Structure 1
């Protein structure tokens, strides 16, 4: 692929144009298979980098998106359409990963091999221009920042999801990545105190959503757009205003919140929403609602309804049953949940038995 990245490049966003070789059901949490395929590519070409990305949970200097493009609909499920063109984004925000991407593009495989459908790679282009942290820091000072969250976005706070783009949480998310990978760290306590006092929400258009994510869990997040602005006094501290501006420019590269390597937290500059993201969201929401309803029913059928273990078992059974009813095979579910096939099969039978007895 004819993309040349300069040796000093530290951040870049790539967009792959892909075509499914057959029509296939697109399961709501399919981004996990894209995540696994991408990391397998890293492992094949650079085992040392792969180990680093796997072992250090906090250091994930890349994001991936879901597929965007025209989807079909069958029985409430999204369908990839054969010969239809789709886009897939990968961003990197460390020099190490960017350098690997540059080498990888020279030996890119012809297809993305996924269990639901092989995707032929037709082309790769720049989604976000290559740049450096120093260049981001020299961006012309801004008094406002408008962001769109085009996939569900969430933060973790005290062990729970926080589905709100409070200024402190937003800029803490970006500053953590900046300090980790830019080589130009800033004191987070003083800057975030300034954010708390100085950054206002001018307007927003947001929806809260709950989607399936992770092995058995769900994420409560938000989707939409927001505009932040600065108080008049805030501009007296130019060094903080400059960091405010730079972190806003960083957002599309690093994403927002957690699980950004699984398609969540995709962020764009400006006020927009992608229709395809909304379509995928509807499918994710349907699965989540089905899992919640089944979990509640299964809990009612438990001989022992109390305890965290009983709740977790019921949720796992509900997840398996909902995904099987959506058309996914038990084998694929077992692989995805990292559970023995026989255990998944037993859970599915037990869940059906409980449902029949109620």
Structure 2
């Protein structure tokens, strides 16, 4: 099936039927919200979605006026400039088992992991000309870093496919730097028995806007560690969706973000348990400082009626460093079978732990340094799980630079 033909005929997210789940239309109109995440409308065609107003469930937390050109305007879908570095973590030598190339939009490998659920992703899907393909093969660990830069201020579209062959091992870093107005889709296909880590690293310039939808499909006994790190950019919205499609599949979804004054960092996470004995762990942590710093985290977990033996937990923690910030945190859990190992969710937003601060200051550490130590300890839990010492070191340095302004 080609990318142009891929679509899923489901109820529209804007006009669901009145009888759905027993609900009736409100007195002020025919709108009835879709109650189950899997029932949202999906399409690769931008014309299938109504214009974005900001009142839609998927956009109500977002500054939609800032990126109207990405949701409704024409996008440049030509190749974007990328640099790729392939190496083995142990000695830095070139590693076999990783290939980076370009494929046409009619390639059969496009459209296997997921389909857009909102207009920006559909606009990018309708606009791209070629997709960047990253393939990982072989049982030895290897790392590839793909850096996108020099995108400029014009609205652009991109599409990336990451494929891990059965029983392969690897780490793929997608890094964004410099100026950008980018809407993109990233497809991740993890084959049977494979173990893959994907890091989405946003280090854009201060005025950049980046909207991304990640779709992952996991095979039998496959493992995916998906990490979103958002530090730079004016508006950054990265929404990962993971389909645990076959028995024994396992995802660890992690996120780290640091919102400064006037910065909007958003993540809407979806994990769909669709097979028996699957597992998921979702942990996102963020810090906010400065006037109008804003973070949004929405976590949806759906345990389908065939997903017996599911083990799932999601959590979001936010640390507020100054006045004038706002953190929205919305965990959602849907369970369609009672035969599970466990499922839970948690959310917390708060200021410094005064006892921790007092403990450090009582031992002669100045208040500013004590605050940085507390924040560093709060956030580095995510960095330490990446599995690449070089990348972890660089992110710790970037985090330290952010903390110098706190």
Higher helix share: 1
Higher strand share: 2
TM-score, normalization: structure 1?
0.25
TM-score, normalization: structure 2?
0.23
> Which structure has the higher relative contact order (CA within 8 Å, separation 6+)?
1
